[in-house]
Structure 1
């Protein structure tokens, strides 16, 4: 059966405001480098007053949103379930998502009163990204925003790990996974951030259940989740949780388990300027590949090239022509 969408994603809808900072900025404001930290609106407003407006770049985002947009840029069909408020940023998010070619559950005349979430993405000179996030109305993302019809008509459901701290978010994750499994849709999950695994590991156990079809993790997340001290031990342990998985390794490339063997994916040489969105881009390109007839190895090569390109520039997205050039280079 041919399905309409390659992937339906669920996750937090955030307007990303990305800007460059010095390490001293993080130190002055007591911000933990390299992690995503949830903050209240007052804290975010304080930081907004201090940012370098000249470097700021705004676009619709959130982890899963970045992933389905990446998939769309490579030529895939994606749907996104999310929640924004009836405000200026909410309408901006909806329009930006539509321009990116991603179908979604947002209707201009049915947006709920509330404040759309924002993520301040602070990029330091070493290309590390640090995020302070005010969830706003997306913290109320629930089963109600899950489009069951879209999941049924998708090859994959993609679940964002950042939903895990919220009880209603976790309920939505479980519900969406059940819908997928009942209708022949494969389930992919990303841990999203080491902090999510560190503080909500048991909740991830609940969502994963016996197993998921595909898991995305970086090295730190893989070892935190499995409670192993080496990557070789962690990857063996992950076989109990996922039928297939990808472990991204930054400048060292990635490791893919295709269900039978481990495949090492070489990195592409690049000068990293901004690592924000690298994992999201990898997931989007990889999902595009495996839902369009490419092998796990070939899909991972595409994903590695795409993520190496995105870290060489400011922002979590490629330009449309860049995605097409990468695709043509690997699959002429």
Structure 2
């Protein structure tokens, strides 16, 4: 009622927000806050799964549980697929949640991006601290290689904490002497598990995820081990000789400042990186699918990025090659950081 009353006098929380988008953002903020207030993680996860919204409920995507010979997870197989790529997708949820709504989002991506997706059920915190998630990510990537997928046919992707896992996995692959994937897609990625940037708390009033939650997620990730924020933050890693990284973020999300810092750091190290920021959007705005113009733009850009990799071999990336996506990305009028 407060939202509608404010709208009646032409005062949306953010100019340009639609009523459904504003309602959904505040609804999920309430869901997260209440889940955090419950006495156990089991109760928090059950509550978060008890009530949720989805943008496009009927999708032509078959969801299939992995077999006993595969890492635990699910395949999302769209009715229509183009190209030969396979996506390895790491879900978000602060490493602590894997809500049902996340599975709907992965199905949405499989449909919109016309790509087969394997999403592993990596171990969650606080029950399993680092390096459990990284071990599970590497095992899933290794499995795709073992079953015959060449690295040039693998797209690594994830949102929020899953975006964190994408970036850390790229580094771990290089350290392990394993080949890089064709492309890495990071949607609203968590790039510093400590404190970084004014938006981390300054954008609490806009975003569904809150600053205090990121610090708790960081503590759960570190567990009782002697891990530091620096050791577990993508922004503090050596980012050289990685796959091309395409990042999308919302200008009103709490993570946007640390995401910008990461993109600059990657660029300064010579990594092939591109960041597009939709100014009025919040964390993981992509989940609104066709119901929101900015979401549709972002999904179209992700599809273009995947199509851009078709038939290419990324043994030596030239920074100028990334400019091939300009004609598509610029339609969204995002903020861009890319190699010059």
**What TM-score comes out, normalization by structure 2 length?**
0.39
**What TM-score comes out, normalization by structure 1 length?**
0.39
Which of 1 and 2 has higher RCO (CA within 8 Å, sep 6+)?
1
